[in-house]
Structure 1
C-alpha cells in the first residue's frame, strides 16, 4: 500500500505539471442542438431525458445509438443509459429517473459536475450564492459558482428551457475566448522567466469508503510549501506538513499527543539528479537520499512542455476549460482572474503526453497508479497580471476518485483532495540553487516500485438523502 501510494502521488504530481499546458476544446450550441431528432419548439421546457442527451453530447461521451423506433424507446434513452452506468444520472428516492419531468438548473448543474469529475463527499468551497448550504445540491452548485459557470444570483430551482440548457452546457464544456487568450499570453510570458520563487499552503485529505474505516486509518495533512526554480531546470522545494492520524485506529504507541506528526521534506534537483531530505519523529535525525539520474523522467523537457504550451494529445486538450472571472488586485498588482477546470480519465492519452525517456520503473509506477485511479479533476483560479501576464496568485484543488477494484481487490479509498494555494510570487531575482554538501554524499536509493497491495472496499454510490435528484 505504501509503495502504491507513493506511485500515485508521483503520478498526480506529473499530471499537475502538465495540466496548465492544456487548452480547451469547444462545443457550440448548434452542435448540441443536433442531438434532437427534430428541432424543438421555441421556448420549449427541457426534460431530464432531453438534458441527458445534450449532456452526453457536450461531454463527448460514447453512446450506443438506437435508431428511432428500433425498440420503441425515446430517442434519448441510449444517452440516459450511458450516464446512468457512469453514475451521472441517478434519479429520485423512489428509484425513478422521471425522464419526462422538466429539469431544474440545480439538477443540470449536479449532473454536469459529475461528468466533470467532482466526487461525492468533497467539501464545498466558500462562495456567495443564492442557494443555502442545507440544499442537497449545494456542494456542486458552489464549485460551479466558483468556476464562473453559475452566477450567484441565479435561481437554482428554475426550470430550464432548451435554449437555457444549450447555453449552460456550451459554457460548461467550452471556454471563454478572452480567458484562453489571457492564458496563452501567460504561457508566453512564463517561457521568458529566468527564475521564480513562490510560497503557499497545501492540504491533503483522504475519504474512505464505507466499511474501510475500521481497517485503514483516515489521514489528513496540511502545511506550508516553498519552491524555487531556476530555468532551464534547477529546483529547491521545502514542505513542512502536519499529519493528523486517528490515535485510536493507528497501530503503535509512540504517536504524539492528538496524533499530530510533524514531517519536513526537502528536495533539490540539479543537473538532472534529485536529492531528498526527510525529517520525522522516530528518526535519529534528518535523512538525505539521492535518486539515480536515470530514475526520473526528463523533467526539463516536461517543464519546457508546460512553459511553452507545446501541446497535449487532442484527448487531453478537450478536457480543460477556462472562464474569465473579471479583474482584481493581488499583492498590489492589477490582475485578471481566470478559472480553470477539467477532468482526466484517459490514462493512455496522459502517458502519450509525457516526454520521452521514462525508465521502466517509472512507467510501471504510472501504469499501476492508472489502474487505481478512476479520474482526476482540477478546479483552479489563477490571478494573471494585466501588465506583464505573470501569475501573482493561484489556488488549485485536485480531486482524485479511486477505482472500485484493483487487481481483483476492493480499494479502501474513495477520494483524495489536494489543495494548494500560492499568493507569494517573485520573478527574476537572480536566484542560484546549490545543493548542500551533506546531500552530495547521500546514499543512492533506486526508484523500484512494486505493485500496490490494496485490499479494501470502495464506498457504495448511494450517498443520497431524501429529496435528492439528478
Structure 2
C-alpha cells in the first residue's frame, strides 16, 4: 500500500474524530483598525490592499516588512505579498493585483474563505441568495451564507467602506457570545448523558490533481451509519457504504457492474477491546477480528476527558468560530441553530488536542500522517435543544487539502470532501451493548504503525456524536 494512502486513512480518521469542540478567539474592530498608519476618513472606500492588511491581521498571519518579494512603497505591501504567497489574493485575469482598486463584498468573501481553508473546486452548498451560480465567486459566497457570515440579500458587488470591511472581518474571525454560551451548555449537557443512539448518512468524494486525472479517476463513497454508545465507553457501530468508481476509466476485470462496490463494516468496543468485521463482495466469508488492547489508545480516558473538557487546547482555540443562526424545530424539539467553521493547518497543535492515552507507536504513526495534509477546514451546523441543550440534528463537512508530496511520493489527490449528516438522536434510552459470541471468539489481529489502514476506529469512536456538543 502506498505510504501516502496509509497516512491518508489515519489522518482523515483523526481529524474527523476531533470535529470542532473548541471555543474561538475574538478579534475586535479596534484591533483591526490599528493596522492603518493613519485613521481613515469617515465613509472612506476600502481598497484591495488595505483589505489585505486587515485580513492578515484578522487571521493572525505573520507579516514582516522584509518579506521576500515585497514590492512597492504602500504600507500594506508586506501583507499583500504574504497573502499572495499563500494563494489568498490572486489578482485579475490581466495578472495584476490592482491593490489600489476598491474591494467588493464578493472579493472580500472569497479571500476570507481561502484563509478559512475552503479549497478550490469544492461543491457549493444549497443556499438561497442573491448571487447566481454562474458567478466566479458563487461557491465561497454560498459557504459563507450557510455559516451566517453573509446575508442572502446582500449585494455581492457592493464596494466596501472601511467600516464595513472591518465589521465583516470581525464577524468572520470572531464568534457570537450567545453561540459560545450555547456551545458550552451543550458540552456540559453531553457530559451527563448515560447512553446515546444516532443514525445518519455520510458521503466522501475525492478530487485528483489535474495531472493525475488520467491515472486516478474521481472516487466517491456514500453510505449510512448507525451508532450506539453506552458510557463510560461501550459502542456498537455499523456502516453500509457504496464505493462509486467510473467503470469506463477503471481497469480490472473484478470491478462490479456500473463501478459500484458495496461494503459493510461492523464494530464493537467493550471493556477496552475492539472487535471488527468488514464485508466486501467477492471476499471469503466475513470474519470477525479482535484488536489487541495494547495497540489502541486508552479510549475510556479519551472519552471521559473529551466529554468533560471545555474545549481544545489553547493552540486550537483560535481556529474555530461560532455563529448563532436563530431558533427552529427539529424532530419535535425547539432548537438553537449554531454554525461553526474553522481551519487547521498545524498538525502538531492538532495532535496536542488529544487528551492522552495513545501508545508511543500510534503517536509516531499519527505524527507521520500529518505530512500528507496541507490544511483541513470544518463547516457545520448544529441544532441544540432549547430546553435540555442536547443535539437533535447536525451536519458537518470536512474539507481536506493535500500536500503535493509525502515522503518522496506524489500525492495524486488534491482535495477530499467528507460530509456527515445526523437527524436521529436518542438519549438515555437504556442502550445495552453485547458482543456476539463469534466476535468474542475471533482471533487477535495486531494493529501496527506499518499498516494504519487496517481496522482503524471509525471517526466517531472517540465516544462523541458528530458535531460540537461532544
1:36 aligns with 2:36: yes
Q: Give, in angstroms, the shift of residue 246 of structure 1.
A: 1.9
1:376 aligns with 2:376: yes
Q: State the partner residue of 2:444.
A: 444
Q: State the partner residue of 1:89.
A: 89
Q: State the partner residue of 1:360.
A: 360
Q: Give, in angstroms, the shift of residue 72 of structure 1.
A: 5.7
Moved more, 409-418 or 9-18: 9-18
1:344 aligns with 2:353: no
Q: Is the 8 A contact 1:3 1:449 kept in 2?
A: no
Q: Give, in angstroms, the shift of residue 304 of structure 1.
A: 2.5
Q: Is the 8 A contact 1:289 1:444 kept in 2?
A: yes
Alignment partner of 1:262: what SS?
strand
Q: Is the 8 A contact 1:8 1:366 kept in 2?
A: no
Q: State the partner residue of 2:411.
A: 411
Q: Is the 8 A contact 1:298 1:355 kept in 2?
A: no
Q: Give, in angstroms, the shift of residue 4 of structure 1.
A: 4.3
Q: State the partner residue of 2:190.
A: 190
Q: Is the 8 A contact 2:301 2:357 kept in 1?
A: no
Could you tell me how far apart the structure 2 residues matched to 1:205 and 1:424 are? 24
Q: State the partner residue of 2:17.
A: 17
Q: State the partner residue of 2:462.
A: none
Could you tell me how far apart the structure 1 residues matched to 2:397 and 2:135 are? 23
Could you tell me how far apart the structure 1 residues matched to 2:239 and 2:7 are? 18
TM-score (norm 1): 0.93
Q: Give, in angstroms, the shift of residue 359 of structure 1.
A: 2.0
Count of equivalent residues = 451
1:386 aligns with 2:386: yes
Deviations 1:326-366 (A, max 9, x none): 00000000000000101111111111221223223312331
Q: State the partner residue of 2:110.
A: 110
Q: State the partner residue of 1:307.
A: 307
Alignment partner of 1:202: what SS?
strand
Q: State the partner residue of 1:150.
A: 150
Q: State the partner residue of 2:164.
A: 164
Q: State the partner residue of 1:284.
A: 284
Q: State the partner residue of 1:228.
A: 228
Q: State the partner residue of 2:204.
A: 204
Alignment partner of 1:228: what SS?
strand
Q: Is the 8 A contact 1:17 1:306 kept in 2?
A: no
TM-score (norm 2): 0.93
Say what the alpha-carbon RMSD is for the aligned residues: 1.8
Q: Give, in angstroms, the shift of residue 425 of structure 1.
A: 0.4
Q: State the partner residue of 2:328.
A: 328
Alignment partner of 2:53: what SS?
helix
Q: Is the 8 A contact 1:66 1:75 kept in 2?
A: no
Runs of 4 or more consecutive aligned structure 1 residues displaced over 4 Å after TM superposition: 1-4
Could you tell me how far apart the structure 1 residues matched to 2:313 and 2:412 are? 32
Unmatched 5+ stretches in structure 1: 454-470
Matches within 5 A, 1:53-72: 53-66=53-66
Unmatched 5+ stretches in structure 2: 454-470
Q: State the partner residue of 2:428.
A: 428
Q: Is the 8 A contact 1:44 1:162 kept in 2?
A: yes
* Shift in alpha-carbon separation, 1:303–1:13, aligned structure 2, 3 A: farther
Q: Give, in angstroms, the shift of residue 307 of structure 1.
A: 1.8
Deviations 1:190-223 (A, max 9, x none): 0000000000000000000011112223211101
Could you tell me how far apart the structure 2 residues matched to 1:226 and 1:71 are? 56
Could you tell me how far apart the structure 1 residues matched to 2:152 and 2:71 are? 43
Q: State the partner residue of 1:27.
A: 27
Q: State the partner residue of 1:465.
A: none
Alignment partner of 1:265: what SS?
strand
Alignment partner of 2:142: what SS?
helix
Deviations 1:254-296 (A, max 9, x none): 2221011110011111111111110011111122111111212
Q: Is the 8 A contact 2:233 2:300 kept in 1?
A: yes
Could you tell me how far apart the structure 2 residues matched to 1:31 and 1:91 are? 27
Matches within 5 A, 1:119-134: 119-134=119-134
* Shift in alpha-carbon separation, 1:451–1:325, aligned structure 2, 3 A: same
Q: Is the 8 A contact 1:404 1:411 kept in 2?
A: yes
Deviations 1:281-324 (A, max 9, x none): 11111221111112122222322333223432222111000000
Q: Give, in angstroms, the shift of residue 123 of structure 1.
A: 0.3
Deviations 1:433-464 (A, max 9, x none): 111111112222222233999xxxxxxxxxxx
Could you tell me how far apart the structure 2 residues matched to 1:248 and 1:71 are? 50
Q: Is the 8 A contact 1:24 1:174 kept in 2?
A: yes
Alignment partner of 1:303: what SS?
helix
Matches within 5 A, 1:450-465: 450=450
